Every structure is written in C-alpha cells, then in structure tokens.
C-alpha cells in the first residue's frame, strides 16, 4: 500500500512539472511573437486618376494551317513497282511519286492499238471505195462504228496506264509516307502532301470585336517561337455565322517567305489596337484587386486607405477603363496593397 502511494506521488510530480514547462514555453513564445503596431501607417505608392485617351488593345491566338494539304490516294489498284519520294521531300507539281504495276495494261494497250489501227484502215478503205466499187453506206457506217469502238477501248487503256502513275498535284512537301515497295495499294492514303508556301492563321473572334476585322485588312502576327519578329498578314475570310459561343472564325493569310520559317500547327497571335472616340477614366492595372465579377481598388484619402468597389470596362494590358466608382483626381494605391485593410492608416511615398 505504501509503495502504491509513493508511485502515485511520483506521477503527480511529473505531471505538474510538465504542465509548468508548457506554460513557461507559451510565455516565451508570446514574448517572441511579432505584434504589429496597429497605429503605424503603411507605406504605399499611389497614382492620380486622370481622364485621357484610352486605346483598347486586344489579342487573339490561333494555329497556322497549310495553304493546301491533301492525302494522296492511288487511282489504280495493284502492286507497287516504284516509289520516288520519301518523307520530307520537297516536290514540284507533276513529279512522279508512285508507279503501280501496269504490265497487263501495257500488253492490252498494244493489242488495242493494233485493233484500232486495223479498224481505222478498213474504215478509210471503205469510205474511199464507197463511190466507185459499189460499197454501201451501211458498210461504211459499220466500219466507222468499229473504228470508234476500238478508239474508245484504246483511250480507256491509256487512262488506266496514266492512273498507274501517281504524280504530285501541286508543289509541296511530303509530310507523311505510308507505302513500301511490293505492297498492294488500293483506296487508302499512301502519303500526305502539304503546301506551306503561305499559311493561314485561324482565330476565333467574339461578336463584340468582329467589327474590327474585315476582308483585306493588314494585320501584324507574332509567334512565341520568334518573339523578336513580326509577320505581315492579311485577313482573307470572316465568317458570316458565329458558333454557339458567339465567336466568329477569321482566317488570316501569311506569306511564308521569311527568314524564320513558319510551319503548319504552330501557335501565333494577332494584336489590333482600337482607338476610342472619347477620353475616359482609366487606372493602372496594378491597382486592381478583387475578382472580375467584383473589382475593387484602395483609394488614398487623407492618410487612410479606403477599399472601394468599382465598375471596369476594357483593358489594354497596362491600364483599365473605369466606368463607375472613382472620380477624376482621386488617387488609387498601386503598390503595397498586400499590407492594407479597409480604413487603415497609410503614408503615400513620393
């Protein structure tokens, strides 16, 4: 019994010592904690709100598409006897790309040519003899029809032989090949031909800004791949029909003869500047707080920072147009807002 009492006393002493130590640590932490001086003014920077000309700058991004691009499909079926291109080749219009086996067609063509020549000879003989040797008009007409039938058969075989040779329909680059020697081709694509002598930038423009785009308008295009360069483009197409989001497709043609080669599939952007007809109040974008639905700014008023709701208009990247909430001559805080609360004291730095 005495032993149990001693054990209990030891436990109580340990608990008391632990509680005392924790309390001491809390006091030390409190002494080290920083307690801001509520009465101390926060140093900020501010700019006066002025009414000035406001140019609206808007940028739209899109993707370059080729001037022309097609999948090449052989017009003849059969075994491949010759391939005269590889991926990456730049080919000219009319260049022979593929030869399909035409041995049977060539053999048939020889026979058809002989039949046609014979039919033509017979027709000429009967036609010349019609007036003197008692040859009837029916015989002449019959030989004429035989000649025309032989001619038709010959032309059909010549077309088949021509189709066995696949040529490039326009100048371009082979950007895909899917055929090997000895394979049998049919109605499936065996290559892709891409023409990027010029490119088209496709962008989607909302209905509020589509009036700024018109066919023939010259624009400046920029690519992130070449940040120091600008490319001249011309609006080629403006859709008359918007999509479900009220965006309109615009196509801008760009000549691809620059030192920095553009490629299909690259991202690019076009920026236009719209000059407003009248002056308006605008503030630096740095002053804006809150969200797009509830924009706010801090206004410096006699050493006090006042948080105020505003209504904004368009933005040109650096400044924002203010429609309501601020008067000309007031000062908006542009730096130091992170340390502010509504109605706190401030000192505006010069």
Q: Mean pLDDT of residues grouped by 10 in the chain (350 residues)?
A: 60 62 58 54 92 79 95 93 95 95 92 93 84 76 92 94 94 95 91 94 91 92 89 94 92 83 92 72 89 90 94 80 91 93 92
Question: Which residues 6+ apart lie within 8 Å of 297 measured at CB?
Answer: 283, 287, 288, 289, 307, 308, 310, 325, 326, 332, 333
What fold, for 60-67+191-275? Elongation Factor Tu (Ef-tu); domain 3 (2.40.30)
Mean residue pLDDT across the chain: 86
DSSP H helix total and E strand total for the chain: 3, 22
What fold, for 102-163? Helix Hairpins (1.10.287)
Torsion angles phi and psi, residue 309, rounded to 5: -80, 140
Alpha-helix residue ranges (DSSP H) falling in 92-211: 103-129, 137-163
pLDDT at residue number 313: 82
Report which DSSP code applies to 210: G
What fold, for 43-54+278-348? 2.40.420
Number of residues in the chain: 350
Q: Which long-range contacts (CB under 8 A, 24 or more apart) does 257-262 make?
A: 257/197, 258/229, 258/231, 260/223, 260/225, 260/226, 260/229, 262/64, 262/196, 262/199, 262/223, 262/231
pLDDT at residue number 155: 95
Q: What is the DSSP string of 297-329?
A: EEEEETTEEEEEE-EEEEE-SSEEEEEES--TT
Sign of CA dihedral 306, 311, 317, 318: negative
Residue 272, both tokens: 């236009």
The structural domains of the chain, with segments of one domain joined by +, span 1-35, 43-54+278-348, 60-67+191-275, 102-163
Cβ contact 290:278 at 8 Å: no
């Amino acid at each position: 019994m005495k032993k149990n009492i001693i054990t209990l006393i030891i436990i109580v002493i340990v608990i008391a010592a632990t509680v005392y130590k924790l309390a001491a640590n809390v006091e030390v932490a409190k002494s080290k904690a920083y307690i801001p001086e509520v009465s101390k003014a926060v140093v900020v920077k501010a700019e006066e709100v002025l009414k000035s000309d406001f140019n609206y700058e808007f940028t739209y991004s899109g993707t370059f598409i080729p001037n022309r691009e097609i999948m090449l499909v052989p017009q003849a079926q059969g075994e491949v006897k010759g391939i005269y291109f590889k991926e990456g080749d730049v080919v000219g219009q009319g260049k022979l790309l593929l030869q399909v086996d035409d041995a049977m067609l060539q053999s048939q063509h020889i026979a058809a040519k002989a039949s046609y020549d014979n039919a033509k000879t017979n027709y000429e003989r009967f036609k010349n003899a019609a007036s003197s040797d008692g040859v009837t008009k029916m015989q002449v007409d019959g030989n004429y029809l035989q000649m025309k039938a032989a001619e038709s058969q010959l032309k059909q075989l010549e077309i088949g032989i021509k189709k066995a040779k696949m040529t490039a329909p326009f100048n371009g680059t082979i950007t895909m090949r899917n055929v090997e020697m000895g394979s049998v081709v049919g109605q499936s694509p065996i290559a892709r031909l891409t023409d990027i002598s010029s490119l088209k930038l496709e962008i989607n423009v909302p209905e509020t800004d589509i009036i700024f785009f018109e066919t023939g308008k010259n624009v400046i295009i920029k690519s992130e791949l070449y940040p120091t360069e600008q490319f001249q483009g011309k609006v080629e197409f403006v859709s008359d029909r918007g999509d479900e989001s009220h965006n309109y497709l615009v196509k801008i043609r760009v000549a691809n003869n620059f030192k920095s080669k553009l490629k299909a599939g690259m991202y690019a952007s076009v920026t236009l500047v719209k000059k407003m007809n009248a002056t308006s109040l605008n503030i630096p974008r740095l002053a804006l707080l809150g969200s797009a639905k509830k924009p706010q700014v801090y206004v410096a008023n006699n050493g006090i920072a006042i948080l105020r709701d505003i209504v904004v208009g368009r933005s040109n990247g650096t400044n924002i147009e203010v429609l309501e909430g601020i008067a000309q001559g007031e000062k908006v805080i542009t730096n130091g807002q992170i340390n502010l609360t509504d109605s706190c004291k401030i000192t505006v730095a010069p």
